Each structure stands twice: as C-alpha cells, then as structure tokens.
Structure 1
Amino acid sequence: MSIADNTFSMSTMFDALQHVRLSKGISGSIPPPGFIPRASAVSNTRLNPLFNLMTNGEGVAQFKEMISKLDRRQLHMMVSLLTLDADYFMEVVRNKNGSRRVQKLLGISDDVDALFYAAILRRFLHIMTDKYASYVATRAMVVFEREKKKAMYEHILHYALDIACEKHGCIALNEVITDVDDPYYRNQLLDVVAHNALFLSNDASGNFVVQHVLKLYDLRCTHNVAVSLRGHCVDLSFKQYGSYIVEKLVEAEETMAVVVVELLECGGDRLMRLGRNEFGSFVVAKALSVTQEMSRVDLFSALVHKLMPFLHLLRRSHGSNIANILESTIQGS
C-alpha cells in the first residue's frame, strides 16, 4: 500500500498512540547538557503505524502532499506522537527516510517546532553524531526562530569537541559553522575550534573541522589556529590529515611564516626525513613555492640552503618535487 493510500487520519494516530509505549517519568522539559538518556523504552517500533509511515520507502513528495491535507490539530497530534518519547523519536530520525520526513515537518508552525525543539535537545549529542539524525538538527538550526537557535548554539558550544571527534558529527559541525547566521555564535564556534586545534588536528575526525575553518579564510580564526599549532607543525606534517592543515597555514600570508620558521628551526636530518615523507614532502614543497611566490627571499633562500645538502636523497624519494624546485634554483643562478 502506497503512502498516498495510507492517509494519516485521526484513527491512524490513535492506533499509533496505542502502539507507542511511553515510559514513566517522560516530560517535555529540556535536560541540561551532559544528560545521559536511559535505554530505549520503545518496543516493536517496526510494527508501529506511525513509525512505518515515517520510515517506509515511499517518496518524500507524496509525504509532503499527505501532511498538507492535515489540519493544525491533526498535525500537532502527529508531531506530539513523534516527539513525546526520546527513544522513539531517535529511532525515527536515525532512519534515512524518517530523517527526511521530519525535516519536511520542520518550520511549518511555531507550536510544531516547539515539540521538535524539545525532542532534539533531549538527545542532542546522539542526534548530532548520527549519520541521518544530524540532518534534522542542522535543518532545525536554519528554520527555527532566534531564541530556539540560540539554545541550540549553546548546546553546540558545549558539545563541540565531542561532536567534532565523531565520524558523522564532524560533518554536521562543519555544516553548522558554515550556516550559523549569528556573528557572536559564529565567532564562539571558530574560537572553540582554533583554541583546540592541536587536539582536533590529531584526531581522525576532528582534523576535518580544523581543515574546514581554515577554508573559511577568517583571518582571526586562521591566526588563532596557527598560534595553537605553533611548535607542532613539523609533527603534524608527517601525518596525512595533519599535513593538509599545515599546508593551509602555509598558503595563508598571515600564517605562512609560522610554519616556515618552524621548518628552519628543526634539525637538518629531521627536515630531510620530512621532505622524503609521503605527506611531509607536500608541506616542504608548498613552503618553497609559496615563499618564492610571495617574494619572501629570506625564507625561501634559507629553506633552499638547508635542503640543498640532501638533494640526492630527495631525488630518490617522495621528495622528488622538492628536488625539482631546488634544481631550478641552481639552473637559475
């Protein structure tokens, strides 16, 4: 039976209500950050009519047409059923189709948004770090009115590092950082990332958040990231994702010198090993090309002088790109 044939009537909702087992003590209040949800109190969700309606494989367009026929009372009852139990709501939004359909219900009315707002904050960290549920939260931050957005931004700030260090959370956090429309919270988020840049840069997921904020070309944030990573750029350059971050700092005129000076201050043998490393070689080559392009003759010449004794070793390694630059300086002299 298609979704079009399964019009969500009042009787359907009452049927759904009988199947949703609300646990004792559930309230509409929003718990503080750090709240740890209990184990799921909802059983047999797969057999629940409302759950099936929200998660079946029928098209989103048909779902939109169906909800457009509901009056305000019916819509409110439907969303009430979806959001009264935290575990039940989580089961819906972590489903690909359920997530898409909840997103379609966001922004329809203030009273419906109030129900979703409370439900999202009850399981905020779990929602923000789930592949599909996170889209519900990020969409809510776009359509909610100002006060609800502010509360969600406060939760983002509180959980920022936990979210950043999750496989799907880092993607959601990057989206929030891109879309945040409040200058105060945008700066607060950038500061959290910048001040924790070393920790995040060494994390398999968190490094993507540092990369993302550097791509925003916010001068203040880029400077703060460089300050946090000063003294650690060589270590990071030996790592795949860390090298991407260091390259971004080299590309920015305001922070290029921070990295190059650190390269010059490290031992010649270590710089040689970095130049021959499959990831570090790109950082060293970038430092050479950028200092040359920016006419920083002092830094470029110092790098060439320090690397030249290792030219023969660089040729027979991942550092062949560096060797090419060094050879061009010999030919040009």
Structure 2
Amino acid sequence: MAVAGDTFSMSTLFDALPNPNGISGSVPPPGFAPRASATHLHAAMFNLMTCCDGMSSFKEMIASFDKTELQRMASLLTSDSDYFMAIVTNKHGSRRVQKLLGKSDDVDALFCDVILRRFLHITTDKYASYVTIRAMAVFDDKEMKKAMYEQILYYALYLARDQHGCIALNDIITDADDPYYKDQILDLVAYNALCLSNDASGNFVVQRVLALKDLRTMHNIAVSLRGHCFELSFKKYGSYIVEKLLEAESSMVVVVVELLECDGDRLMRLARNEYGNFVVCNALKSTKMSRIDLFWCLVQKLMPFIHLLRRSHGSNIANILESVKLRY
C-alpha cells in the first residue's frame, strides 16, 4: 500500500490528530495489527508505520512536516507503551520510528519517555533494539541522554547476555560519547568478564570492549579472567577473547604467566587444540616482540613436544619452534 493509503489521507489523519496532551482510545496489543476495537486514528497510524512499502514516500512526508505536525504524530505513536511496542517490534515500524528520531527535542522527549518505560523489552527485541541505538546516536538533550545511559548501565548485564541486546549494547559502547558513563559500562563488563566470556552472547560484548584497546580495561579484564584463560582457550569464542588480551603487554603477561604455570602435557594439549593452537601461537609471537624472557620460557616448555605438534593443529607452533631450534 502507499503511505497515504486508500482508507485515509495524511490531511485527514492530521485533522483527526489530537493535541499532544489529549490522546485517548484503545490500542492494539504488542505484535498484533489494530482490531476493530482500536480507534480509526490508531489503526490508520499503525498501518502507516508498519506497511511493507512506501519508505521513500514516508521520508518525503515527514520532511514536509513542521515541528507541530511532527510532535502530534509522535504524541500518537507514544500515547501507550503497548501500542508503541506493537509498532517498533515490526521491522518496518522500527525503521520509520528511527526516521522520526532526532527531528526536535520536543519530539525526542516523547520518544525518550516511552523508550525508558519499556527499555529492556525494546532493547532486547530484534527490530525495536535499533530504536534505542538510533536514539542514543541522535539525542542532544543532556538530561535525556543521561536518563538513557542510566538505563543502559542498570540493564547492561541483561543486555550483554541477550541475543539482540548484546548487539545494541555493543553499538552503544562503541559510540558512547560520555566519558563517565562509557567508563562505568567498561568497568562493569571488565568486572563481570568471566561470566560474560562463558556466555553465548556476552562473549561478543567482551570481544567488542577489548577491540577498543583501552589499556586500563584490557588489564582489568585480564585480571578478572586470571586463572581461567587456559580453559577459555579451548573454546571458539573464548579463544578469541584470550587472543585479544595478547595484544597489549600488561594483559598479555597475565595470559602467558598462566600458560607457563601449566605443566608441559597440558600446554601441549592446548597447543594441539583446534582453537587453543591460535592462542599459543599468538602468545609466542607477542612475547617475541615485547617480552623475550617469556618467549624463551614458552619455547622451553613446548620444544619437547615439537614432533607431536607437527602432526596436529599445532603445526603453526611447530614452525615457530623449528625457526628457533638452532638457537635453543
């Protein structure tokens, strides 16, 4: 259907739109299109926001609106949190709401209020979560931004361990523009790095935080994972985390010391593992560049097993050992 469908026109819709403080009427439950019990106005707006075509026409339409028209539209959309959820959990509804964000502080205030009311539900939904991401990118008002950051900080661990919430949290962490709240979130992730690293979704948050290469946070994560790096290295995503820790000297030392504390057989088992071999290989490369003392300690523990490494996933490690064999 076109944006201005056969059942209504935008002029008719806005003639019927109430003032921002005077919205009433029944609304559809989350996930369902409006039924006959909903007002014609709510039904028309719902159809406008969730129709599968007409996005370019929608952008042209809202570009022509003045602030009053935008505010009246936002008022209807945010009049009830269930109604808003029904729209933003729809793929097309989410995209259209995102287009309305950042138009004015008054409009953003209405959206901010409803997002805060249903923050966790919105930010852990496949489509609605992008509304939170967009809001954090475009909100200018300091108080609104602070309120959003407070919710993010409060729910950070829930978001990190959610399939869709972790994506939203990662984007928010990457683009965070408030040093205080960014540090608070990074510290929370670092303190809870062990449980997050072992979580199917949380490990991606730890990886994203480490990718920021904030040395203080990398060290804090290494400290939280001290004594667990060996076991994490046997897991696909856990090994990615340990490898990232090897990229900074202070966190690298924590990892390598733990590897050196293992007996030779255990270290050899890790070096032959399909994931662990990358950790050991990178440990050798990193220590060779910045901590030659630790490099030779690793070589000494691994050299007796070079013949076993050649016939396994550890062949890359065997090649490194072979290159230094004459000096050993």
The Cα RMSD (Å) is 2.3
Counterpart amino acid of residue 254 in structure 1: S
1:301 to 290, 296, 320: 296
Correspondence for 1:3: 3
SS at the partner of 2:246?
helix
> After superposition, where does 1:230-245 map in structure 2 within 5 Å?
230-245=226-241
TM-superposed CA distance for 1:329, in Å, is: 1.2
Q: In structure 2, how many angstroms separate the alpha carbons of the residues matched to 1:313 and 1:206?
A: 35
Match of residue 169 from structure 1: 165
Match of 1:206 in 2: 202
Question: Residue in 2 aligned with 1:155?
Answer: 151
Q: Does 1:55 align with 2:44?
A: no
Residue aligning to 2:267: 271
The aligned residue for residue 65 of structure 1 is 60
Contact 1:4 1:66 in 2 (8 A): no
Aligned mates of 2:45, 2:202 — CA distance in 1: 37
Residue of structure 2 aligned with 1:288, choices 280, 284, 295: 284
- TM-aligned CA distance change 1:285 to 1:3, over 3 Å: same
- Could you tell me which residue of structure 2 aligns to residue 32 of structure 1? none
Deviation at residue 302 of structure 1 after TM alignment: 0.9
Q: Post-superposition shift, 1:298?
A: 1.5
Deviation at residue 15 of structure 1 after TM alignment: 8.6
Q: Distance between the aligned counterparts of 1:330 and 1:138, measured in 2?
A: 53
Q: CA deviation at 1:41?
A: 7.1
Amino acid at match of 2:239: S
- The alignment status of 1:21 with 2:10, answered yes or no, reads no
After superposition, the C-alpha distances for 1:136-187 in whole angstroms (9 at most, x for unaligned) are 1111112221110000000000000000111111111011111111110111
1:190 shift after superposition: 0.6
Distance in 2 separating the partners of 1:311 and 1:261: 21
Structure 1 runs of 4+ aligned residues shifted over 6 Å read 15-19
Secondary structure in 2 matching 1:254: helix
Question: Cα–Cα, structure 1 residues 179 and 13, in superposed 2: closer, same or farther, change >3 Å?
Answer: farther
- The question of whether the paired residues in 1 share the 8 Å contact of 2:189 and 2:206 is answered with yes
Q: Secondary structure in 1 aligned to 2:250?
A: coil
- Counterpart of 1:141 in structure 2 is 136
* Alignment check: 8 A CA contact 2:233 2:279 kept: yes
Question: 1:11-66 CA distances to partner (integer Å, 9 max, x unpaired)?
Answer: 4674999996149xxxxxxxxxxxxxxxx478642782211101112243311211
* 1:298 alignment partner, SS class: helix
1:254 CA drift (Å): 2.1
CA distance in 2, matches of 1:211, 1:43: 37
Q: Which residue in the other structure is 1:254 paired with?
A: 250
Percent of matched pairs sharing the same residue: 65
> Within 2, Cα distance between the matches of 1:76 and 1:170?
31
- 8 Å CA contact 1:191–1:221 kept in 2: the answer is yes
How far apart are 1:259 and its partner, in Å? 0.6
Cα shift at 1:95? 1.5
**2:40 corresponding residue in structure 1:** none
Structure 1's 231 and 250: CA in aligned 2 closer, same or farther, altered over 3 A?
same
Aligned length: 316
**Residue of structure 1 in register with 2:85 after alignment:** 90
C-alpha displacement at 1:279, in angstroms?
0.5
- 1 CA distance for matches of 2:64 and 2:271? 65
Secondary structure at the counterpart of residue 70 of structure 1? coil
Shift of 1:267: 2.0
